[in-house]
Amino acid sequence: MTVTAKTPPRSETQSPATAEELAEIVARAAAAETALYPVGGGTGLNFGLPARRSGLSLSTTQLNRVVDYPARDMTITVEAGRSMQSLRELLATQGQRLPVDAPQADTATIGGVIATATSGPRRFGHGSIRDFVIGISAVDGRGVAFKAGGRVVKNVAGYDFCKLLTGSRGALAVITQVTLKLRPVAESTAWVVCDIASYEKAETVLAELVRSAIVPTAIELVAGPAWERDNLLGPASGCCAARLLVGVEGAAVEVAWMTRQLQREWREQGIADSQVIDASGAAELWSRLCEFPVESASGLTVKATVRPSAVTRFVAAARAIDERALIQSHAGNGIVYVRYPEFTANEALPVLVRGLQPAAVAAGGHAVVYQCPADLELTHQAVWGPAAPASAIMASVKKQFDPAGILNPGLSLFAC
């Protein structure tokens, strides 16, 4: 049997009900040198290299209490296993939100979203999850519970483990509780969408957007077969290379002004046809763009992050390397997801190692495998690209948190 990240060779799942119980499990595992695979909602397991060591799955889903929600302070303290959807519903009762997009919100947990640094289209306007974590409690690989940050929105006492643990993928510690900074719910939202004939033109329009009078919340450039016949966006115009979707949020008067203004600016740039998608259509579009990177369980998704000005060049390269590629980019941030409906191991070399990875490096960034089918065997280089120069110091940080190397062994860039 092929051993993969999706089905780690674990003998059982432990679901502690308290952080203390969780710490005891980790301490026991450390003593026995048993590998532990922390898991929240299980929505982000197809990332990284497959697990090779047998061990235990450690679920945080029972740690799902709301510890404190002082709404007037616009902060909340919750345990890590709380689902994003239930968090969203709770915050909505106070007219507040965590403006971070997480796919599969009904199962994804806040701890998982933080551990994987998941973000979506809204990061252009609001920043990513790292910008909202102001306090964190976790258990390190020795079974020691520790915390950093606090419950106030501004705090520089001690090292900022809120940032260090965000995106650390459970390789340093198991997150048990977090305090988040919140924002008010936006009164209104809409999308303005246009089709763009060429990638060169797309870059011109994106560059103009940097100087636009409007304040976008999301700048999404999408390309590939499925986007060309999307029922929400309508069929793409005949000679369309990519579709540009700009999401705006704010007070109703602001959203109305921004949609009009952007259409005006686009007309001046020679884009005669654009459409505004608002009301329920807008909500559906936010959700679709949020889910896209993980939509297909069987395919492979690559995440590239490049200079924003190189996004169109990278997208064009990705389409040239393999025309099946379905692409979504948070173009304002230089983040590009390239999704292949099907992918086989022997495509890894031409498509990844000799294709997207050098294209990403040329565009000022890098490309990693974001989502990989359970039965696909890939090399370290295919998943992570060229060795990161900082991986030595990352490995030494890992050793301090997890001296026995039991937390998600082998899954991370720096912890093989």
In this structure, the dihedral spanned by the alpha carbons of residues 325, 326, 328 and 329, taken in order and rounded to 10 degrees, is 10
Q: In what order do the strands lie in the sheet with 133-140?
A: 66-68, 75-79, 173-181, 133-140, 145-149
Q: Binding of another protein at residue 298 (CB under 8 A)? A: no
Report the site for another protein in 26-65 (rule: CB under 8 A). none
When binding is defined by CB under 8 A, the residue of 61, 75, 189, 217 that contacts another protein is 75
Of 67, 69, 146, 291, the residue at the interface with another protein (CB under 8 A) is: 146
Binders of another protein in range 110-139 (CB under 8 A): 117, 127-128, 130-131
Helix, strand and coil in the chain, % to nearest 5 = 35, 25, 40
d(CA 372, CA 375): 8
21, 24, 160, 228: residue in contact with another protein (rule CB under 8 A): 160
- Residue 213 beta carbon to another protein: minimum distance, rounded to whole angstroms: 6
CA torsion 9-15-19-21 (nearest 10°) is -90
334 binds another protein (CB under 8 A): yes
Query: Do 333 and 356 meet the contact criterion of CB atoms below 8 Å apart?
Result: no
- Using rule CB under 8 A, residue 312 touches another protein: no
Secondary structure of 186-215 as H, E, C letters: CCEEEEEEEEECCHHHHHHHHHHHHCCCCC
Question: Is residue 256 close enough to count as binding another protein by CB under 8 A?
Answer: yes
Question: In the set 51, 91, 100, 148, which binds another protein (CB under 8 A)?
Answer: 148
- Per rule CB under 8 A, is residue 140 in the interface with another protein? yes
CB nearer to another protein: give 373 or 385: 385
Residues 302/224, Cβ–Cβ less than 8 Å: no
Q: What binding mask, one character per residue, do residues 81-100 give for another protein by CB under 8 A, x or -?
A: --------------xx----
Closest approach of another protein to the CB of residue 56, in Å: 23
303 scored as a contact of another protein (CB under 8 A): yes
**Neighbouring C-beta atoms of residue 229, cutoff 10 Å:** 10
Among the listed residues 191, 196, 190, the one whose alpha carbon sits nearest the alpha carbon of residue 272: 196
CA distances, 401 to each of 15, 284, 398 (Å): 22, 41, 5
Q: How far apart are CA 340 and CA 300, in angstroms?
A: 5
CB of 86 to another protein, least distance (A): 22
Compute the radius of gyration of the chain from its Cα atoms: 22
Residues 335, 304: contact at Cβ < 8 Å?
Answer: yes
In the complex with another protein, the residue whose CB is nearer, 71 or 226, is 71
266 contributes a contact to another protein by CB under 8 A: no
Selected binder of another protein within 13, 18, 158, 200 (CB under 8 A)? 158
Task: Give yes or no for residue 159 binding another protein (CB under 8 A).
Answer: yes
DSSP annotation of 294 reads G
DSSP 1-56: ----SSS--EEEEE--SSHHHHHHHHHHHHHHT-EEEEESSSSSTTSSSPP-S-EE
Among 329, 331, 384, 404, indicate the residue that binds another protein (CB under 8 A): 384
**CB-wise, 73 or 273, nearer to another protein?**
73
Contact stretch for another protein (CB under 8 A) within 99-107, 319-327, 343-351, 392-400: 392-400
> What residues contact 224, with CB distance under 8 A and at least 6 apart?
319, 324, 325, 326, 327, 339
User: What residues from 200 to 229 belong to the interface with another protein (CB under 8 A)?
Assistant: 207, 210-211, 213-215
Query: Which CB sits closer to another protein, 34 or 179?
Result: 179
> Is residue 66 a contact point for another protein (CB under 8 A)?
no
Q: How far is the CB of 259 from another protein (least distance, A)?
A: 11
- Among 28, 88, 163, 288, indicate the residue that binds another protein (CB under 8 A): 163
Among 229, 307, 354, 380, contact with another protein (rule: CB under 8 A): 307
Regarding 390 and contact with another protein (CB under 8 A), the answer is yes
